[in-house]
A and B are shown apart, each in its own frame.
Chain A
Amino acid sequence: MVSRVSRSLALASVFALAVGLGACGSGSSDEGNGDDGVVTINYWGFAPKSTTADKYKEAFEASHPNIKVNFRVVEITDYPATLRPGLQSDDGPDVLPLAAGGAIAGAFLFEDAVEDLTPLAKATLGDDFADQFGGGYIEQLTVNGKLLASPFVGVTAQYFWYNKDLFDKYSLVPPTNYDEMKKVCDTFAANDVQCFVGGFGGDLPFGGELARTIANSIEPGYWEDAIKGKVSWESPVITETVDVLRKMQADGIIAEDAIAIQQYPEANNIFQSQQAAMIQMGSWYAQYDPKDVSAEAQEAAGVTDPQVFTQLTMPAPDLSGHGNIPTTLGEVDWGVAISKRSQHKAEAEEFVKWLTMTEEGQQFGCSVLEGVPTLKNVEPDWPNLNLSNPELQEANIRQIIEDSLTTTETRNRWIGPETAEAILQLVQGALTTNTPAADLAAAAQSAAKPLDGAADS
């Protein structure tokens, strides 16, 4: 009996090794320069999600029969561990999405590892290609004269999205300043509805977004200048921002749990399940406008019987009382880059060209409403959007797209890892400690680090 166990173990291991080896041999295509001249390019990235990717993969492969796209989801948090080694080897990705800025996937972090796409853009769209893209997108993805990624979708941010049905139910209108906000929240609280939900924990910068909203109502543009290093974080603007944040928390507008939850999934679920009336999100949130996506989101939030409700944006209120409506931010959300070490650059270029520089490709981004189209003259497929409230929401989305063409302040373009951390600590310090605001501001000043070229921009 003893030896039988050992023998079966030995057999099992031999079998495993054999099968494992076999499995590897058959499947591993190694960028499949297959028998029939079909080239496979590898796309590793945080966006789009796999269901959307399947659609554009199908469309691309239909019109490009010799190229296959192998799409892999790699979340932003896994970028450092996987993408960086991958980009330094021949076995890494051919194409990848890059963001305008931010701590991890900002294009400027990848300057050395990706190709300059200027020649491709010029060849496809002409010498004035930069003007064909909206809102400064090309500029935002250009570092040292090199176009690091081709813009795919843009983002506008700082809106407060609100649940119109809930507002209508209690005869409320979107607030434009702190007092109105407080009144709205009191009404909701009396009716057991959470007024405002925000998830400031985790990696995403939503706490910082709210702080910026407040700062921009105190002195427009100050926050961006601080990020760029043109002005100091140690300033009354910042200390007042901290005070307002604390006041919002004391008044129950910011929940005690805010630092403990994340925007996704918690805050998003709370809003989509109609337990909260307002949430601060950007243009990407329009993806929940269509009926089916909204129903899916409600189910994901645990609602067994999804309802149709109307979500719309309102401009962020002036929370500091200085009388300035915070400006909408806008920048490219992400674009597609080509790795310098790609073994199939020609095919990769075909893909980038198709996705980002043609209307067909752009439709895949803007028609799921995950972002605003980056090519001017491209519009979402209005008749087929299946919106929860077509009249109001179509107008809303048109407004968002219009905003994207007129914004003057970027969102993450100039935020590098150190500055992102500094902002995060500022917000956490404001909401979970009693540290004097001046100290928090000082800490932010010493931790933040402006990016190269920021001061001149």
Chain B
Amino acid sequence: MFEIRSRISRVILQVMITVLVLPFVVPLVVMVQVSFSGAGWGNYKAVTEVPFFLYFFRNSGLIALGVIAISYALTMMGAYGFSKLRIRGREFFFWMIMGALTLPEVVLIAPLFPTFSKLGLYDTFWAVIIPVSALQVPFTLLLTRTFVDGIPNDLLEAARIDGCGSIRTFWNVIIPLSRPMAAAIIVLVFINAWNAYLLPLAFLQNAEHEVVTQLPQYFRSQYSDDQTKQLAGAVLTALPEVIAYIGLQKFFERGMAAGAIK
């Protein structure tokens, strides 16, 4: 964004960003420090020795995939509809969806519990995927709609002139051009799904169905609280999220959008 005209500007920018990033690093350093204190690597070993340890990662992964798939699909379709298509009462519908952003998770459990129970969904991943997606979509929709607003209408015109119906326009224009924002929301949805705690706790029963957020439970009890191992677990839990984030970085590159038009 900024043009680096001289050596000095480069240094200034580098210093600036380093200073700004420092406050963010301090708690992270403390966290890693604590995770290595006491038993050191033994903490990490203890975490991997928790029964069903790998299952937790698998389960969280499955739930996250489900949530991402549903959120991404519904968000892209919805953003396209709200941003570029004709809807009477568009804002009213939009605000109704936004209203879903306001509920704290805990309020969802009491009404959903008997519902899922009756539908036989209790202790299945759907009981987590559905409400988590429902909580993600308003937020991703809000962001993506804004982003799609920024796609020049001329491109849509061009596609229409070329004979594309709304579906092909969606597939060939909207989806590719939205990649930067799509990457952003996929990362954020992944994190929210991966870190989901209360909904899995309430709706998943068997140990084989538990998710990574249950890991700290094994190192805590009424009269004890082992920070060293919990934080070691947190470091391990964070790894997939960081990997996903780094992996999706290439979608943020400028110019990808423009070059993708056929």
Contact = CB atoms under 8 A, between A and B. Distances in A.
Direct contact of A and B (CB under 8 A): yes
Interface of A: 1-3, 6, 9, 12-13, 15-17, 19-21, 23-24, 27-30, 42, 46-50, 70, 72-76, 78, 80-82, 84-86, 88-91, 264-265, 268-269, 284-285, 287, 296-304, 370
B224 A49 contact: yes
A168 B106 CA distance: 50
Given A20-B63, A91-B123, A287-B223, 6 more contacts: A2-B175, A20-B62, A20-B66, A23-B125, A27-B209, A85-B110
A19 B62 CA distance: 8
B144 to A, nearest CB: 15
B117 interface: yes
Nearest to B105: A81
Given A12-B65, A78-B201, A300-B224, A27 B117 contact: no
B208 A27 contact: yes
Nearest to B114: A89
B132 to A, nearest CB: 13
Interface stretch (B83-91, B225-233, B239-247): B225-233
Given A16-B62, A29-B206, A47 B123 contact: no
Given A13-B65, A20-B66, A28-B124, A91 B205 contact: yes
Contacts of A12: 65, 69
A30 B127 CA distance: 14
Contacts of A299: 38-39, 42, 228
A70 B206 CA distance: 7
Given A27-B208, A300-B224, A6 B171 contact: yes
Given A24-B126, A85-B202, A265-B227, A304 B38 contact: yes
Prevailing SS type, chain B contact patch: helix
Interface residues of B, number: 55
A103 B208 CA distance: 32
Contacts, number: 155
Nearest to B175: A6
A303 B228 CA distance: 10
Contacts of B227: 265, 269, 300, 302
22 contacts: A2-B175, A6-B175, A13-B65, A15-B65, A20-B125, A24-B125, A27-B208, A28-B205, A47-B222, A49-B222, A70-B207, A74-B201, A88-B113, A89-B122, A91-B113, A91-B123, A265-B225, A268-B225, A298-B38, A300-B219, A300-B226, A302-B37
A287 B176 CA distance: 60
B32 interface: no
Nearest to A2: B176
Contacts of A21: 126
A264 B172 CA distance: 56
**Leading 4 A-B pairs by shortest Cβ distance:** A13-B69, A49-B221, A16-B65, A24-B124
Contact of B106 (A28, A81, A304): A81
